[in-house]
Chains A and B, each alone.
Chain A
Amino acid sequence: MDRLGLYRVMYRIRRFEERVEALFRSGKIPGFVHLYVGQEAVAAGVLAHYRSGDYLTSTHRGHGHALAVGVDPKEMMAELFGRATGVCRGKGGSMHLFDPDKGMLGANGIVAGGVPIAVGAGLGLKLLGWKGAVFAFFGDGALGRGVLHEGLNLAALWRLPVLFVLENNRYASTTAFAESHAFQVADWVRAYGLPYAQVEGDEVEAVYERTGELLEGVRGGQGPAFLEVLTHRFKGHYVGDPERYRTREEVAQARARDPVMGYRRRLLSLGVSEATLRTIEEEEERLLDEAVAYAEASPWPDPEEALKGLFAEPVRDYPWEGA
């Protein structure tokens, strides 16, 4: 286990998101943003197992997953700014981040929208005879979607190499988990015959360990597995959410078990020096400052680009109209 690596990834996500929040509030980032603050240990712990040849699907709250698999913060920030240099050339945005070079098959604006894609990626890998696992992230809101139920069945039936990762932050937008689900997650997953583990999402090493155990079967051809991580988002559903559905005390309790700061303390207690951690933090701050500067300096896309790229070859609905 690369402890400093885990800390670096969590720190990068936390500080990326804090910058995004400020930049969004100052009007520099258009659209909607859903921050991953509080859930860093999930992306960092699970995706520390991510290898070249693996794939992942993510959610509307997808910045953390993208950063954890190594999507370039500069290109990501430029995408959030809507610039031509963005990872999707400004056509995707926060909720639609793709980076095939990193196996990133998309954040997704549709709850559970990535799940069938992950199942299919698993099928594709199996049929093509390629090694690799697929990581399908989704939140507790996805438990209400039929495709998740269908997807578990199909992945189990066909023994596909998919790790389903439920990030249970206890709220589907504003609706509490307890108010929207009649079943127990563990019972439901086991009914499909999948190995299941549950772990507290504020302990990155525990997330890492449980993931590793489940992945052995997934990578070993035994079919899919399911990890439920109990986590908290410290921020609202979106930046600007008035959060009338939960109390300040509840958020304060969660923040008291901050996965990033808590892990920092643990590393110090394990004998890592303050200077070592400071060095990592300074390196990450520089990287993120550069990402913001890159995004701000990047050009807007040419408006004509909006009309291009729907198909592999250019198609014009009315070919006689100006090129």
Chain B
Amino acid sequence: MREITFAEATREAMEEEMARDPRVFLMGEDIAKQGGIFGQFKGLPERFGRERVRDTPISEPTLVGAALGAALVGARPVLDIHFADFLLLAMDELANQAASLRYMSGGRLKAPLVIRAPDGAIRSAGAHHSKSLEALFLHLPGFKVVAPATPKDAKGLLKSAIRSEDPVLFLEHKALYPRKGPVPEGEVLTPLGRAEVVREGRDLTLVSYSLTLHKALEAAERLEAEGISAEVVDLKTLYPLDWETLLASAEKTGRVVVAHESWRFLGPGAEIAATLQERLWGKLKAPVARVGAAHTPIPFSPPLERRVIPQGEDILKAAKEVVSWR
């Protein structure tokens, strides 16, 4: 199969969906003229015009609200929010409005919109361009939250997100954009709400998603060299969570490490650990371990950033502790 980058995969998904459905449009800062800060929109304005691929002023609250308004009258907006940190500027429009309207209206309105947000720490971008905010949006009812790890899922999940009838927050780790991987040409639809066992193992389960999934896979390789067989689950969608896949793998191995770039304190791992322990009490061979960012803003200096953001070694260390638990 051909290999393309994560950025190209998202571009291809946009191109196919915009060609399929004339109601789909794309807007954001620096996307049309500049092609996106990671090149993920290159060629789209030439094909679809500057009306359907539109540059915007720096007005995040109004852009989120406008995406919602356009969705309410029948369009299918995709809004790029430059850096996930900037979602925080638009929390009213996200949480009070977009996430709530279907419910508050007794199901009479629907808000099919996709908010794309490049997240995660990369190259010392510092505290305002490095955050992973998924836990906030998992806590707030009304969003589907998606975080692909591979180019194939970037394409397949983005296409599914655009076809969803509800607001989807689509999180793209910035370090993933240049990574290459196999992606089928044409229709790829990765279903929302399904996780995948991407590596089979016997001794423990590493649960992750987005960039951290790759760190978990590297940790699994190193564990194998030491005779420990790690299974790896890629969550892909964080809401709704695929408990079936998670519970099956956790029950099989009895030992679980959840790893993500979101802060460890009240991060997705907290919900997963609590629920696995509720469901599998007596069947787990060790407490569920969590690996997440330290509870600080993301610092600038490279050694400080590395200290706060979970690394492969952190996952490895947690895995060994879980495996050796008595």
Interface residues of A (CB under 8 A from B): 55, 57, 86-92, 96, 98-100, 105-106, 108-110, 113, 115-125, 127-128, 130, 134, 146-147, 150-151, 153-154, 157-158, 309-312, 315-320
Contact = CB atoms under 8 A, between A and B. Distances in A.
A124 B74 contact: yes
Contacts of A90: 106
A318 B72 contact: no
A319 B25 CA distance: 35
A106 B105 contact: yes
B23 interface: yes
A85 to B, nearest CB: 10
A119 B69 contact: yes
A311 B101 contact: no
Contact of B72 (A87, A120, A147): A120
A119 to B, nearest CB: 5
A309 B102 contact: yes
Given A110-B96, A127-B25, A320-B279, A154 B66 contact: yes
Contacts of B108: 87-88, 98-100
A310 B110 CA distance: 10
Contacts of B69: 57, 105, 116-124, 134
7 contacts: A86-B106, A92-B104, A121-B69, A130-B74, A150-B59, A150-B62, A154-B59
B39 interface: no
A113 B96 contact: yes
A317 B65 contact: no
Nearest to B141: A310
Nearest to A84: B106
Contacts of B67: 120
Nearest to A116: B65
Contacts of A119: 62, 65-66, 69
Given A147-B62, A150-B62, A312-B166, A98 B70 contact: no
B73 A98 contact: no
A154 B56 CA distance: 8
Interface in B185-238: 193
B176 interface: no
B62 A124 contact: no
Given A55-B72, A154-B57, A320-B243, 4 more contacts: A91-B103, A105-B72, A150-B59, A312-B164
A318 B274 CA distance: 12
B305 interface: no
B73 A128 contact: yes
A311 to B, nearest CB: 5
A55 B73 contact: yes
B75 A128 contact: yes
Contacts of B240: 315-317
Interface string B27-70: 00000000000000000000000011010110101111111111
A146 B62 CA distance: 9
B263 to A, nearest CB: 21
B245 to A, nearest CB: 12
Interface in B244-284: 244, 275, 279
B93 interface: yes
Contacts of B63: 116, 154
B303 interface: no
A128 B25 CA distance: 10
A319 B279 CA distance: 12
A89 B66 contact: no
A119 B64 CA distance: 11
B144 interface: yes
B160 interface: no
B310 interface: no
A128 B96 CA distance: 26
A309 B106 contact: yes
Given A113-B96, A120-B65, A150 B72 contact: no
Contacts of B68: 116-117, 120
Interface centre among B54, B72, B279 (most CB of A within 10 A): B72
Interface string B69-87: 1111111010000000000
Contact of B104 (A57, A96, A118): A96
A74 B141 CA distance: 30
A151 B106 CA distance: 27
Contact of A128 (B64, B74, B104, B105): B74
B120 interface: no
A128 B52 CA distance: 10
Closest 7 pairs (CB-CB, A-B): A116-B65, A120-B69, A89-B106, A120-B66, A124-B70, A98-B105, A312-B165
Contacts of B106: 86-92, 98, 309
Given A116-B69, A125-B73, A150 B105 contact: no
Nearest to A108: B97
A222 to B, nearest CB: 18
A309 B54 CA distance: 32
B93 A98 contact: no
B234 to A, nearest CB: 20
A162 to B, nearest CB: 10
A127 B97 contact: no
B142 interface: yes
A146 B96 contact: no
A116 B66 contact: yes
B59 A89 contact: no
B109 interface: yes
Contacts of B241: 317
